[in-house]
Structure 1
Amino acid sequence: MTTLIVASSHHGSTREIAERVAEVLRTSQSVETVVEDPAGAGAWLDTADAVIVAAPVYTGSLDAEAKHFLDSRRAELSLRPLVILASGGAPEPLPKVAAQLETYGARDVAYFRGALVEERLSWIERMKLKVSKNEHYGDFRDWDAIERWAKSLTHHGVR
């Protein structure tokens, strides 16, 4: 049995979370995992027994690549256990993002804070943060909570 982890990530933080989830599933649950970006995930979808979509939230909106994958593959995703992991800089997702994530019929939707590393951002992204007075750089990932969540996924059909 294989679990496909679709990881959209422009700056690497959400991808690193997805990789850690894959590692926890492999080592603690003996789950075979494949981590792919949305563009390459379609090739693995037919062989996956379960799917985890790791989607970043940028400036209060779900990442366009992750959203496109979830929207365009809705029928295929409904045939297997789906879990969504969202990651963003805010302590909690905006209500509109949380409501949007619930529309995909996932067995579980989790939100974890990510990392906002200045060196990984483009000049334009840094300026947008400066203008919005939201320059809260740092690594806010709670690895213990992420690992506990990953270990709980077998209760949601991820195996």
Structure 2
Amino acid sequence: MESNTTRIAVLYATAQGSTRDIAEFIADALAARGAEIELSDIEHAPELSGFNAIILGSAVHNMQLLPTMTSFVNTHHDQLTQAQVWLFSVGLGPALRGPIGRWIGRTVPKKIAALRDSIAPRGYHAFAGHYERAGVSLKARTLYRLMGGGHYGDLRDWEAILGWTTSIAHSLGLPQAKSTPIHP
């Protein structure tokens, strides 16, 4: 590849695959703009020094990023604060509706905010993930409904994900996309 090609690491921590799907979509969208992409789960992340930008994504459990992502950020803190970094999380919050649900969905949990702020990414976005009813306790389903959860299944907003990715591409000065990625 040419030496002036923008190299981007897209690294993710996933629990059930929804975050991986979003990371793959982001990687495809940026590759369609000519970037050289290294897509990897966080446990197999490459050495960070050879990248122009780093995009980190993690599922949210118990109002915090997955432990593997938290550990990675803490271990690579100095490199991440010196790099162009974007961070996204995947959880239920952005899918909640109604006055209480929208308020909860806009609120960044304290542990996520603290980790985010410690590396000062150029951008952060919370996306809804995939939430199935099967295997969820009655208490959790009731709480989901009370907070404004409308339905189950794939709650991801692919248009919002593409919009956020486009803003990253503009920030990095990437050319127009040669094609539009197709979400899973």
- Above 0.5 in TM-score? yes
- Runs of at least 5 residues in structure 2 that lack an aligned partner in the other structure: 1-5, 95-104, 175-184
Deviation at 1:98, TM superposition (A): 5.0
* Cα displacement (A) at 1:145: 0.9
CA-to-aligned-CA distance 1:10-31 (integer Å, 9 cap, x gap): 100011000000111111x211
- Name the CA distance, whole Å, in 2 between partners of 1:134 and 1:97: 21
Go from structure 1 to structure 2 and tell me whether the alpha carbon gap of 1:67 and 1:158 turns closer, same or farther (over 3 Å shift).
Answer: farther
Instruction: Say yes or no: does 1:40 pair with 2:30.
Output: no
Given the alignment, which residue of 113, 120, 135 partners 2:128? 113
**TM-score relative to the length of structure 1:** 0.83
Cα distance in 1 for residues equivalent to 2:167 and 2:108:
24
Change (3 A) 1:139 1:97: farther
Q: Distance in 2 between matches of 1:33 and 1:134?
A: 39
Map 1:15-54 onto structure 2 (within 5 A): 15-27=20-32, 29-41=33-45, 43-54=46-57
Q: Counterparts of 1:68 and 1:95 in 2: how far apart (Å)?
A: 17
Give the match for residue 80 of structure 2.
Answer: 77
Does 2:11 align with 1:3?
no
Could you tell me how far apart the structure 2 residues matched to 1:94 and 1:16 are?
Answer: 22
C-alpha separation between the residues in 1 aligned to 2:27 and 2:163?
13
How far is 1:139 from its partner?
Answer: 1.1
Contact kept, 8 Å, 1:81 with 1:156, in 2: the verdict is: no
Query: 1:94 and 1:77, CA in 2 relative to 1: closer, same or farther beyond 3 A?
Result: closer
Equivalenced residue count is: 150
Contact kept? 1:57, 1:88, Cα under 8 Å? yes
- Equivalent residues of 2:65, 2:112 under 8 A apart: no
Contact 1:3–1:31, Cα closer than 8 Å, also in 2: yes
Larger Cα Rg: Structure 1 or Structure 2?
2
Unaligned ranges ≥5, structure 1 = none
CA distance in 1, matches of 2:153, 2:173: 31
SS of the residue corresponding to residue 4 of structure 1 reads strand
Q: 1:79 to 1:157 in 2, by over 3 A?
A: farther
